[in-house]
Structure 1
């Protein structure tokens, strides 16, 4: 377990984190600090606790919006998977129908060639 010192709203906090997560924790703290500074610029000195709560609420709002977008994208992805499966089934059916039509045409051509060989060719093979 590692420890990192972060500054949020002018106060230092010693935070524990997993090994390798130090940089991420520092960036998160910097992001929260930037939000607090921004809110202070908009609303002035309205109290440290209030600024921190407002910053936390903006983060939660963004997190909830991101979660909703992810949920929507997951639903869209599932629908696309379903459409893809239907399209693949249709493609297989179309491919089978085309193969059957080509085989039937080849059979008709073969039969026609045989008839022509017997009736017109007088024993000379056509095709």
Structure 2
């Protein structure tokens, strides 16, 4: 288990994280520190705890909005995927219909040809 020190609102905190996650934890600490400084600039010195809570709520709101957007995009991708799938099926069915029409036309031609020569029609035997 790795140990990382992050500085948030001028205070250092020693934290544990999984090996290999050190830089990620440092980046999260920087993001929180930046949000607190942004709020401090907007509201002034209103207390560290209040600024930390406001920063956490602001970041939670951003996370909730991001989750809503991701869910919306996932639904859109599913719709597009199903539309593409439906289009592929339609193209395949068009191809099958074309082949069936050619077979039917060929059978009709054979039947007409055999009727005109007086031979008995035997489908598929040539």
Paired residues for 1:1-127 under 5 Å: 1-106=1-106
CA deviations 1:47-90 (Å, max 9, x no partner) are: 11111111111110010001111111222222223222322221
- Alpha-carbon distance in structure 2 between the residues aligned to 1:11 and 1:38: 16
The alignment covers a number of residue pairs equal to 116
- Alpha-carbon distance in structure 2 between the residues aligned to 1:56 and 1:99: 64
* Deviation, structure 1 residue 99: 1.5
Superposition CA RMSD, Å: 2.1
- Alpha-carbon distance in structure 2 between the residues aligned to 1:6 and 1:104: 77
Gaps of 5+ in 1: 119-127
- Alpha-carbon distance in structure 1 between the residues aligned to 2:9 and 2:54: 12
- Alpha-carbon distance in structure 2 between the residues aligned to 1:81 and 1:30: 38
Misfit runs of 4+, over 4 Å: 105-112
Gaps of 5+ in 2: 118-126
